[in-house]
Amino acid sequence: MPSPDEAVVCEGLVRRFGERAALQGVDLRVAAGAFLLVTGPNGAGKTTLLRVLATVIRPSEGRVAIAGHELPRAAHAARPLVGYVGHGPLTYPGLTALENLALYAALYGVPAERIGPALERVGLASRGRDVAAEFSRGMSQRLALARALLHAPALLLLDEPTAGLDSGGQEVLREVLAEPGRTVVVSTHEPDWFDGLATGQVRIEAGRVAA
Amino acid sequence: MEKTSGARLDRATLAAVVAAVLMPAALALIFFYVPNDADQGFSQRIFYFHVPIAMTTYTLFGWGALNAARYLWTGDMSLDLRSYVPMHLGVIFGTLTLVTGSIWAQVSWGTWWYWGSTELNTFLIIFLFYCAYFMLRFSVEPGERRARYSAVYALLGVGLIPISVLAVHLGQDVIHPITFTDHGANMDGSMLFTFCVALAAMLSLAVAMYLVELRGKRLDEQVSRLRRLAAGTTAP
Amino acid sequence: MSRRAFAALVRKDLLLELRGSEVVLAMAAFVLASFVLFRFGLGGGRPAGGTRAATGMLWVAIVFTAMLGLLRTFAQEREHGIWDGLLAAPVDRAVFWLARACSTCLFLLAVQVVALPAFWLFFLQDGPPPDYGVLVLAVVLADVGIAALGSLVAGLASAGRAREVLLPVLFLPFAIPLVLGAVSATTGTISPQTSGLHTLERLGYLALYDTVFLLFGWGLFEFVVED
C-alpha cells in the first residue's frame, strides 16, 4: 500500500517504444516535500521517466503511483496534482501569453483571476498580450513555468529547466523552486546549479537507476 | 512460454485435416452432385463458391473486430495478433469473393462488375477498408501503439458495415440475387445440402489457416524477443 | 469543467486560425481549384451525367479538403510537442476529440460559404435555384460526419509515416457511404426536386451516419491519443 506521504513511487517501471525499452525497470521513491535531481547521460530515459510521472504516457509494465494514485488507472485523479515543464514550452506559439494561460486555466478548472498573478510571478506581466512566438528562450521557459504552476500542483516535474536560460529566467526559476510545500523532481545536466535546493539525487543510465 | 502450445499444435492440425476432408467433398458435391440451376445452368455453380467465401470473409472480419475490442479492454498483446490474423485472412478471402463475384456477374449479367448490385458494392467498400487497415498496420512501428491503432480502426469497420449497406441501398436498386429468400423456395434439398457443405468447407479452411498463421506469427515474435534479449535491449 | 475545457479548446482553434494559420484559406483554395479543373475537364455546357455528377464532384472536393484541414491542425500540435501539455491536463480525452471535430466542422462550413455559391456558378447556373433550406441541412449534417470521423482517423494517421497519403486512404472507405448519402440528399434539393420522403430518408441517413461516428469517436479517441 503506498503511503500518501510518498509523492512518487515507481516499482519496476518499464516503458517501451515499439521494440525498444527506454525504461527497463526503474525503482524510485520520492517523499512528499523532497527535491530530487535526476541526472544521467542523454538517451538514458530521464525525459521518458518524467513523461510517465506527468501521466503524458503510460507505463508499459510495473507500478507507478503519484500521491497514492496508481497510474494509469487513477491518472485522472493524479493530473490536477502534477505540474509539468517539458523540453519545449508546451505553449501555442500563435497565442498570446494570456491566451495560453487562459486555455490551461480552463483545462485545469482554475479561476480566471489567477492568470494575471501567475504571469506576474514569473515577471511576464508586461508581455501578457504578446504572441508566444515572439518570446525568447528565457521568456518561453518562464511562460512554461507559469503554466505549470497555474493550478498550484503538489508535484512539480521539470525537464532540463536550466538549459539555455538567461539570468532573468534563472532568477525566477530559483525563486519558484525555493517556495516550500512542494515536491520537485528535476532532470538536469547541471546538478550543481541546484545546490541548496536539492535534497537528493538519483542517476539514470540505460533505462535503470544506476547503483 | 505457453503451456498450451502443444494443444494448439493439435488444434491447427485437426483443423487442417477437417478442411482437407471438407474441401474435396464440397468440390465433388458442387461439380457432380447438385443439379443444374433452372435459370442459369451450369455456370450458376459459382454461387456455391462465392457466397460461402463471402460469408467466411464476414465471419473473419467479425472475429478480428471482436478480438480488437477485447484487446482494447484488456491490453493483452496476444489479442492483437488474434485480431490481425483474421483481418489478414479476410483480405485473401475478400479478394476471392470479389473474383468469384465478378465471375458470377459475368455469368449472370454479362459484365465483369455490376454497379447496380448492393451486395457487391457493399463488399467493395468493406474490401477497401481491409486494404486501408493494412496500410495503417504497415505505417506504424510494431508495438503497443500499432496494436491499439489497429484495434481502433478494426472497430470503426464494424460501424462501417451497416452504414455501407444502408448507403448503397439508398443509392441504388437492389438487383443482386438474394439467394436465401429468392432461392429459398427454389433451393431444393440437394442444393441446400451442397451449400452447407461448401460453407462448412470454407469456414474450416479459414479456421485452419487462422491457426497455422497464428502459430507462425507467434513463433516469429518469440524469435524476435529472444534476439532482443540476447542483444540486451529488453528486460527479461 | 469539461464544458469550459471544450469551449476553451474550440476557441483556441478558432483564434489560431484567425491569427493566420491559413488552414481555411488553403481549404478554400483547394476546393475552388478543384471546381476549375472539373469545369474545364468536363468541357462547356452542362456536365455529362447532369447535376448528380456535378454534386458528386462537389462532395469529393469537400472530403479531400477536410483531410487537408485536419492534417494541418494536427501537424501544428505535433510540431511543437504541445500534446504533452494537453495530455497532462485532467481533461477527458474525448473532449479533445469533440473540440477538434467542432472546429473542423466550423472550418468546413466557412469554406462552404464560399464553395457553394461558386459551385452554383460553375455548374448549376442555368437551372432553377435549389431548395436552400434542405441544402443547408444536408451540408451541415455531412460536415458533422466528416469532422467527427475525420478527427478520429486523423489521429490514427498522424502517428505513421507518409501521413498525407495515409489519411485519405484510411478515410476513403468511410467517405464512400458519406458521399453517396450527401450526393443523394443534395441532388434531391436541386431541380428536378424529389419527394419529401425521399429527401427525409437521405437526411435521416446522414443523421444516422453522424450519430454512429460521433459515438465511435467519443468512445475511441482516448485509445488514439493516449500513448
C-alpha gyration radius of chain C: 18
Contact assessment for residue B105 and residue B69, using Cβ atoms and an 8 Å cutoff:
no
CB contact under 8 A, A19 and B224: yes
One-letter amino acid at A149 equals L
Place of cell 433452372: B38
CB contact under 8 A, A19 and B233: yes
Integer angstrom CA distances of residue C98 from C142, C149, C151: 16, 10, 8
Residues of C in contact with A87 (CB under 8 A): 81
The Cα–Cα gap between C168 and C183 comes to 19
pTM of the model as a whole: 0.88
Chain B nearest C-alpha distance from A206 (Å): 9
CB contact under 8 A, B144 and A14: no
ipTM computed for the complex: 0.90
What is the percent of chain B where pLDDT is above 70? 82
B65, with CB counted inside 10 A (0-12, 13-18, 19+), is: buried
Residue C170: closest CA among chain B residues belongs to which residue?
A: B132
Q: Given this model, what pLDDT does residue B174 score?
A: 33
Return per-residue pLDDT of chain A as tens, 211 residues. Answer: 445 678 899 999 999 887 788 999 999 999 999 999 999 998 889 999 999 999 999 999 999 999 999 998 899 999 999 999 998 878 898 899 999 999 999 999 999 999 999 999 998 999 999 999 899 888 898 999 999 999 999 999 999 998 878 888 888 899 999 998 899 999 999 899 999 899 999 999 988 998 6
For C37, residues 6+ apart whose C-beta sits below 8 A from its C-beta are none
Residue A14: closest CA among chain B residues belongs to which residue?
A: B235
Residue A18: closest CA among chain C residues belongs to which residue?
A: C227
Integer angstrom CA distances of residue A199 from A156, A172, B199: 15, 20, 71
Residues of A in contact with C11 (CB under 8 A): 103
Over residues C130-135, the mean pLDDT reads 77
- Cα dihedral angle (B218, B224, B226, B232), rounded to 10 degrees? -150
Interface probe with B: pick from A13, A16, A23, most Cβ of B within 10 Å: A16
The Cα–Cα gap between B78 and B87 comes to 15
Closest CA to B67 of B93, B90, B95, B51: B90
Which tens digit of pLDDT belongs to each residue from C134-178? Answer: 888 889 999 999 999 999 999 898 877 777 889 999 999 999 999
Q: Which of B128, B145, B162 sits opposite C227 (nearest CB)?
A: B145
CB contact under 8 A, A60 and B144: yes
CB contact under 8 A, A19 and B144: no
Contact assessment for residue B155 and residue C220, using Cβ atoms and an 8 Å cutoff:
yes
Q: Which of B142, B224, B235 sits opposite A25 (nearest CB)?
A: B235
Integer angstrom CA distances of residue B15 from B19, B90, B186: 6, 18, 33
DSSP state of A192: G
List phi, psi (to 5°) of A61: -150, 165
Q: Which of C9, C16, C81 sits opposite A95 (nearest CB)?
A: C16
Residues of C in contact with B126 (CB under 8 A): 173
Residues in chain B: 236
